[in-house]
Amino acid sequence: MIVTSPDDAVPHGARPGASASLGAALRRLALPAAAFAGGLAAATLLLGGGLGAGPAGAQAPATNLPIAALDAALAEAAAATARAEALTRRIEQAEALRGPQGERFIAAALLLQATIATPRPWLREYQALTSLAPPGALPAPLAEVLLSHAARGLPTEAELRERYAVLMPQLLARAPRGEDMVGRTLTAMRSTAAGIGLAAPLPATDQEQAIAGVAQQLRRGNLAAAVADASALDPALQPLLAGWLAQAAARLAVEQAVHETLLRALLAPTRPA
C-alpha cells in the first residue's frame, strides 16, 4: 500500500517550490533507475546463460555463461549511469541558472562584457563572474581565455584601427613588387615624379591593395575579417604585423569567450530533458 503525505496531496501549482521539488525528485530517481536497469540486464544474461543448456530443471556449468554478453551488459549499465549523472548535472545547472544566483551570474557576465569593450583591466569583474558561476556555467577553456588578459586589459577596436594606420606606411614601403633591381629603381623614380605631379600615380600592386583592404575592414568594424586579411599578407610583412595581430587576435578570443558564456547561460534548459 502506498501512503501519501499531506504535501503529495497539494496540487503542483499551489507550492512555490514545485519546480525545485521536481528537479530533486528527478535527481533521486535518475541514478537508481540506471543502476536497476543495468543490474536487471546482467541478471537476465546470467539466468539465460545458466539455464536451458541441459535437461529440464538442470543447470548448466558456470563455464557456459555468455561472458562477452555479460561484459556488454555491464558496459551498458555503466553508460546508463554516466548518462544519468550527466542528466543530474544538467538539472542542477538549469535550476541554478533559473534562480537568483543565475540572474546575478548573467548580470556579472554583462558587466564583464561591457568592461572588456574598454582598454582597462577586468580582473575584479572576472573574479565576480567566477564567484557567481553555477556548476558547469563557466567551463575551464572559457575561464582561461577571460583570465589571460584580465590583469592588463587589451586595446579597443578603435585603438587597433589607429595602430594599424601607423603601420601602413611601413607595410606599403616593404610590400614586395616582384621586380628586379632595375625595375625597383625605375619604380622609385616614377613614384618620386608622381609625388611632385610630373607623372601619373603608379597602379597599386596586389599586396598594396590587400594592405588597404585591412584598413577598410577596420573602418567597417569587422575586426575578425581584418585579422584574417592581415594574416594572409606576404610573409615579408608579418614581422611588422606580429604585435598588432597578437593583440587583435586576443581581443577576438576574449570577446568570443564572454559571448559564449552569455549564450550558455541564456540557452540553459528551462526544464529537465
Q: What is the pLDDT of residues 119-154, one digit of tens each?
A: 999 999 999 999 999 888 899 999 999 999 999 999
Residue 146 domain-assigned (yes or no): yes
> Do 141 and 32 have their domain in common?
no
Half-sphere exposure at residue 271, Cβ-oriented, CA atoms within 13 angstroms: 1
> How many degrees, rounded to 5, is the angle at CA 19 between CA 18 and CA 24?
95
What integer pLDDT is reported at residue 47 of this predicted model? 52
Query: pLDDT at residue 30 above 70?
Result: no
Q: Please state, in angstroms and rounded to a whole number, the distance separating the CA atoms of residues 38 and 44.
A: 10
Helix or strand holding residue 42 (H, E) = helix 18-50
- What are the residue ranges of helices labelled H in 51-156? 67-98, 100-116, 123-132, 140-148
pLDDT at 74 over 50: yes
Which is more confident, 125 or 179? 125
pLDDT of 168 over the 90 cut: yes
For residue 273, being part of any structural domain is answered with yes
Quick check: 110 pLDDT over 70? yes
Give the C-alpha separation, 109 to 102, whole Å. 11
Within this chain, do residues 37 and 155 fall inside the same structural domain, yes or no?
Answer: no
pLDDT at 227: 97
Lowest mean pLDDT segment, chosen from 25-29, 146-150, 264-268: 25-29
pTM: 0.58
The amino acid at 248:
A
User: What average pLDDT does this structure show over 29-51?
Assistant: 52
159 & 216 share domain = yes
In angstroms, rounded to a whole number, what is the distance separating the alpha carbons of residues 273 and 88? Answer: 10
C-alpha dist (Å) from residue 70 to 5, 46, 63: 41, 7, 13
Q: Judge whether 235 lies within some domain.
A: yes
Task: Give CA–CA dist 150/167, Å, rounded.
Answer: 26
Same domain assignment for residues 92 and 211: no
| 272 belongs to a structural domain | yes
Asked if residue 225 and residue 107 are part of one domain, the reply reads yes
Res 21: pLDDT: 52
Q: Which of 115-119, 194-198, 225-229, 264-268 has the lowest mean pLDDT?
A: 194-198
Examine residue 195 and state whether it is found in any structural domain, yes or no: no
On whether both 270 and 248 belong to a single domain, the answer is yes
Instruction: Indicate whether 92 and 106 sit together in one domain.
Output: no
Element (H, E) at 31: helix 18-50
Better pLDDT: 31 or 222: 222
Does residue 268 share a domain with residue 225? yes
Mean pLDDT of the chain: 74
Q: Given this model, what pLDDT does residue 52 score?
A: 43
Q: Which residues make Cβ contacts (< 8 Å) with residue 66, sequence separation at least 6?
A: 45, 48, 49
Instruction: Indicate if 149 and 238 belong to the same structural domain.
Output: yes
Percentage of residues of the chain with pLDDT beyond 90: 44
Is 162 a member of any domain?
yes
Residue 166 has pLDDT above 70, yes or no: yes
Quick check: 245 and 259 in contact, CB under 8 A?
no
Q: What is the mean pLDDT of residues 256-264?
A: 94
The total number of structural domains that make up the chain? 2
In terms of domains, do 94 and 106 share one?
no
Q: Which of 18-22, 171-175, 185-189 has the highest mean pLDDT?
A: 171-175
* Range with lowest mean pLDDT among 61-70, 111-120, 135-144, 152-161: 61-70
In this structure, the answer to whether residues 94 and 105 fall within a common structural domain is no
- As a whole-number percent, the residues of the chain with pLDDT over 70 amount to 57
What is the structure's pLDDT at 84? 63
Per the domain annotation, does 12 fall within a domain? no
Question: Three cell numbers at 261?
Answer: 558564456
Q: Containing domain of residue 89, as a range?
A: 21-52+63-98
Asked, for residue 240, whether it belongs to a domain, the answer is yes
- Whether residue 243 sits in one domain with residue 164: yes
Contact in structure between 229 and 213 (CB atoms under 8 Å) = yes
pLDDT at residue 155 tops 50? yes
